[in-house]
Amino acid sequence: MQLATETWSVVATVRASHSLCDLFACHYLALGARQVFLFHDDPEMAFSVQRDGVQNTVCDERWWQSGRPEALEKRQVHNATQAKNECSTDWILHCDVDELIWSEQAVSEVLGALPGIVGGVRIRTAEAVYDSVPERDRMFDTPYFKIFYRKGRGKAYGEISQRAYGGIWEASNHGFWGHPIGKSFIRVRAPVGRMPLHAKRRSEIAGFRMHEVSEQMILRHYDTLSPELWKEKHLRRINGDVATPLAGKFRQRQQKLIAEAALAGETALEQLYLKMATLPPDVLAECIASGFVRVIPPEPHLLKHAPPAA
């Protein structure tokens, strides 16, 4: 019996290297995305990812005819909404360049199995963790991912995550440095107005159910990136080069730790990164045994995309 399928697209506002953007596009095209929309937030870093199905937009003065919003989140929502209006697929996912879906079933089949009254389906986050410091071009190699939910209940691993992170645990959300909420596929014909960052607040819009949760898909979030990219991301925010007014209390606590480490010097920053991004072998094994860390091997195209290890 042939399963029903529905088409889908993905959109991201990016400020990243060509190799990272290309890998993002490669991954989603390999999973079956019909269209990949890349909005290049920094015109000086903009380039064209040359793959069938990829649409590149440089967010320069011509793009922001009414003025460029200061807040990154507003720019992301604007761009995602434009992509929804332009795409020719049944569904569209809004996510970041460091977020890659894993699915135990073809994404098109997962979406095709949803009732027609479902207008939004959320993919829960699993956050990457490393057994050693990743190189800049190997950060997608890790098979280890922290889990926030157990049997639908959030904050399920508070005790083990506290043992894992010790004195810096208070800056995390039960072991998560980034958002545990996840991101949402939105049905294109659903009149939801602006695209959400994570999920629409209303549970129902024009008869469409907006708060479904997928059990077949996981959003792998590589929040700590590589040491170089992690420092650049956070120091730009700490220094005011990028505004993120919607950052929550845990992100603010992290940036306080990072700012203090930056004042103390490069060694302090490296040590903080090591504590946040990696787990020692014995702790990692305990986290896996408890269910706090799940093993999800990277797809072959992710390993193939990275350059050979030295």
- pLDDT for 223-234, tens place per residue? 999 999 999 989
pLDDT tens-digit readout, 294-308: 999 999 999 876 544
State the pLDDT at residue 305: 65
State the pLDDT at residue 88: 98
pLDDT tens-digit readout, 22-40: 999 999 999 999 999 999 9
For residue 255, report the phi and psi dihedrals to the nearest 5 degrees: -70, -30
Rounded-to-integer distance, Cα 254 and Cα 112, Å: 39
State the pLDDT at residue 310: 38
Q: In what order do the strands lie in the sheet with 35-40?
A: 54-58, 35-40, 8-14, 91-94, 183-187, 120-123, 212-213
Classify residue 1: in a domain, yes or no. Answer: no
State the pLDDT at residue 309: 42
The residues facing 187 across adjacent strands are 91
Classify residue 3: in a domain, yes or no. Answer: no
Rounded-to-integer distance, Cα 240 and Cα 4, Å: 48
- CATH number of residue 22's parent domain: 3.90.550
Classify residue 36: in a domain, yes or no. Answer: yes
Sign of CA dihedral 70, 72, 73, 74: positive
Classify residue 104: in a domain, yes or no. Answer: yes
Classify residue 99: in a domain, yes or no. Answer: yes
Domain count within the chain: 1
pLDDT tens-digit readout, 156-212: 899 999 999 999 999 999 999 999 999 999 999 999 999 999 999 999 999 999 999
The residue segments making up the domain with residue 93 are 8-305
Classify residue 75: in a domain, yes or no. Answer: yes
Sign of CA dihedral 243, 248, 252, 258: negative
Classify residue 2: in a domain, yes or no. Answer: no
Rounded-to-integer distance, Cα 219 and Cα 161, Å: 20
Classify residue 189: in a domain, yes or no. Answer: yes
The answer for residues whose C-beta is within 8 angstroms of residue 36's C-beta and 6 or more apart is: 9, 10, 11, 24, 25, 28, 29, 49, 51, 53, 54, 55
State the pLDDT at residue 308: 44
- Alpha carbon 216 to its chain centroid, in Å, reads 17
The residues facing 13 across adjacent strands are 39
Number of helices followed by number of strands (H, E) in the chain: 9, 14
